Amino acid sequence: MTFSLRHIDIRFGDLLVLHDLSMEVEEHKLTCILGPSGAGKTTLLNLISGSLQPQIGQIEGFEGKSISYLFQETRLLRWKTAEDNIDFVLKDHLSKTQRVEAINRYIEMVGLNEFRRYYPDQLSGGMKQRVAIARAFAFPSDILLMDEPFKGLDLQLKTSLMQAFINVWLTDKRSVFFVTHDLDEALLLGEEIFVLTPSPGKVKGVLINSIPHKDRDLNSPQLRSIKDRLYQLVTT
Amino acid sequence: MRNSTIKNSLLTTASVLALLLVWKLLALYWNQELIMPSPETTLVKMWQVIQTDNFWPAVGYTLGRGLLGFFISCVVGLVAGFAAGFSPPVLWLLQPWVTVVRTIPVMSVIILAIIWFKTDIVPIFVTFLMIFPIIYSNVLSGIKNIDQQLLEMARMYRVKPRRIMTELYLPAILPYLLAGASNAMGITWKVIIAAEILSQPRFAIGTNLMIAKIDLETARVFAWTAVAIFISFVLEYALTALENRFKKWGQSQ
């Protein structure tokens, strides 16, 4: 199964947001879309989710797919506990036993078992984002869309959240489309990195990173050499 | 308890004592129980009033009418607020009605209600007309200020509209509803007693106030007033406590 976008144009009024954008991605891959602000990254996610139709071009492979999301904000309901927040999105799609199983499994995976009955106000920012990660995976989806979920976090928190995310993803490989403007995030998470040009967004180049996730270290020579190539691609 | 809390409650106590002192001084100044009964006389009179057969039925009926009027207003305000919040045509249809009701003088409503209804219904009807617009507009602004990001999240995860209503909208507007309700609670007792004074139901605090006035027993007027203040204070306090508890629900994470 392949997901493909071919020669996409998106225009809002006079503004050309995406121009002649093409990309092809295999299933179960962690795809990074790296671009500066204004490159239409969020627009691209809206195309994938089907909430936006392209004016020109074709999209294939996304029809009828179930999608879950990880936003920049945690978007949890204050009046529900961690587990009930996850249950909130599962209820209309899974049976009672499936829900319990999914909640147990993913709450455990993000390391929040002791905190499952806590309300968001009682959790730290990092814990809340972990609940959001658990919610995204517990939801029965084929595709996971991530819109800069680690933006604006301090380095330590960012690293531990990315680690938590990778650990879950390695056991449950959804097709991920991860949008970011941060080179390091793209290097640590992406298997394929699509670099976009600034407005209008267009694929400038693709970089494959085949180092296994558990061996990725920003200080290792292998990742450094990929980083140099990525840096060149972004800056030229 | 934090230091500032202790300081605040000391200030409140001092303020209550000052109020009693001013009252006492005024009573001494006029030295006429008919114009200004002293705090002690009022207290004694209140004790006598409480022991009359009429006391508990009067308090009970006034309380019942107030709560009934308040409850009806909350339910109708909630339903109308939701309807107007989701449907612009409903909003524009309701707007003139709410504006008229909001600006109508309380006394006109009472007089008309006396012409139209049985005496027992009058206070409830008047309360409804006074309270409903407050609840309605608070619910409406709660819906207008709903956190769009939460809503987007629920829609993207394909949560059913009915559950978005009950599990997202309803809790999110709760702080607005409670703010309106605790504000409305104070007004309820003022309105209900005014309506009772004019409509004279058989059992009512308002009726007793009126009788005390006709009897020229100012101390009894004070005593019944104190009872009304007490009821209003307790219920408003309870609602404010609830309001503080749920204050943050509407805010985004």
Task: Quote the percentage of chain B above a pLDDT of 90.
Answer: 81
Q: How far is CA B5 from CA A48, B8, B11, B239, B246, in A?
A: 54, 5, 10, 20, 21
Among A74, A91, A139, the residue with its CB nearest the CB of B253 is: A74
Residue A119 touches partner B, C-beta closer than 8 Å? no
Among B157, B160, B253, the residue with its CB nearest the CB of A120 is: B253
pLDDT of residue B230: 93
Tokens describing residue A152:
């604006």
Please determine, for residue B51, whether its predicted confidence score (pLDDT) is greater than 60: yes
CA distance, residue B253 to nearest chain A CA (Å): 6
Task: Give the Cα-Cα-Cα angle A40, A44, A49 (nearest 5 degrees).
Answer: 145
Give chain A positions within 8 Å (CB) of B245. Answer: none
Q: Is A121 helix (H, G, I), strand (E, B) or coil?
A: helix
Among B149, B160, B167, the residue with its CB nearest the CB of A75 is: B149
Please, are residues B161 and B105 in contact by the beta-carbon 8 Å criterion? no
Summarize pLDDT for B211-253 with one digit per residue, the tens: 999 999 999 999 999 999 999 999 988 888 888 888 767 555 5
Residues of chain A with pLDDT under 70: none
Tokens describing residue B194:
């005014």
- Predicted ipTM of the assembly: 0.89
